[in-house]
Amino acid sequence: MYLYHGKGVLYTWVSDNIYHIYEGKFKDNQRSGKGKQTWFRTKGPIQHGIQSLHDLENMTMEQVNELMHLLTDNTEIVEIYDGQWQNDMKHGKGTVLITADNSLYVGEFRNNLHHGIGRMKFKNGMYHGYFQNGKIHGKGKMVFNDGELLSYNGTWNEGKMHGLGKFVYRNGNEAMVEHDNNTFVRFMPPQGSIFGKNFWSDVTPPHFFPERTS
C-alpha cells in the first residue's frame, strides 16, 4: 500500500463519467497544504475499452499516460479548485470555478465549504462579504448586473436578506430597508427624515424612485 506524503499528482475516478486530478501536497495519505484539483466529465465512452481509473495502481506509466491522453481528448472541465487543503478537504484560502454557470469564488474555506470572508461572482452579479457553512451569512454587499436595483449592502441570514441594509438604485437614489429572512418589513424613503426624525414606512418600497430633481 502506498502512503502519499510530500508533493505529487493523484488521479481519482469518482463515478462512471467523473474523475479528478489533484496536483499538490500530501500529508499522511491525505491532501494537505497547497494544491490544485480539477474535476472532469467524460463526453462519451473512452476509446480502446478503457472505462475507468480503478486499476491505475496496476498500470505502467506508459499505460497511464495513454489513458490520460485519451481522457483529455474526450472530456470537459467541471470544476477547478486551487488553494489550501487540510485532511482531504478544502480548508483555508482558495479559489473555485464552476464551469456550468461560470461562477467564481475567491476567499476562505472550512471543511470543504465557503466560510469566512470571500468574494463570489454569479451570472447576474457579485457578492463580497461573509459566508458561514457554505451560505452567505453576516454582513455583505450584493451588486446586481441588471435591473433597477444596483446593490444591497447589509446583513444576511443563510443566503437571505435579514435585518437592516441599504438599497442603491441605478438612478442614484438610496433607501434603508429591513428584511426578515427575505420578507420585506419596512423602508425609510430617500429623503431620510421628516421634521428631523427618522421616518420608517411599512409600505413596500417601489422598484424605483423618481429621478432626483437636484
Mean pLDDT of 129-144: 96
Q: In degrees rounded to 5, what are phi and psi of residue 153?
A: -125, 110
pLDDT band at 5 (very low <50, low <70, confident <90, very high): confident
Q: Specify whether the CB–CB gap between 71 and 17 falls below 8 A.
A: no
d(CA 36, CA 20): 10
Residue 170: CB partners within 8 Å, gap ≥ 6? Answer: 147, 148, 149, 150
Residue 196: CB partners within 8 Å, gap ≥ 6? Answer: none
Number of H helices, E strands in the chain: 1, 15
pLDDT digits (tens, 9 = 90+) for 26-74: 999 899 999 999 999 887 655 444 444 445 555 566 766 666 666 666 7
- What is the per-residue DSSP string for 31-49? EEEEEEEEEEEESSPPGGG
pLDDT digits (tens, 9 = 90+) for 154-207: 999 999 999 999 999 898 888 899 999 999 888 877 665 444 455 566 655 554
pLDDT of residue 93: 98
pLDDT of residue 48: 41
pLDDT of residue 129: 98
- Comparing CA positions, the residue from 92, 158, 98, 90 lying closest to residue 130 is 158
pLDDT of residue 18: 86
- Comparing CA positions, the residue from 89, 137, 88 lying closest to residue 109 is 89
**For residue 140, pLDDT beyond 90:** yes
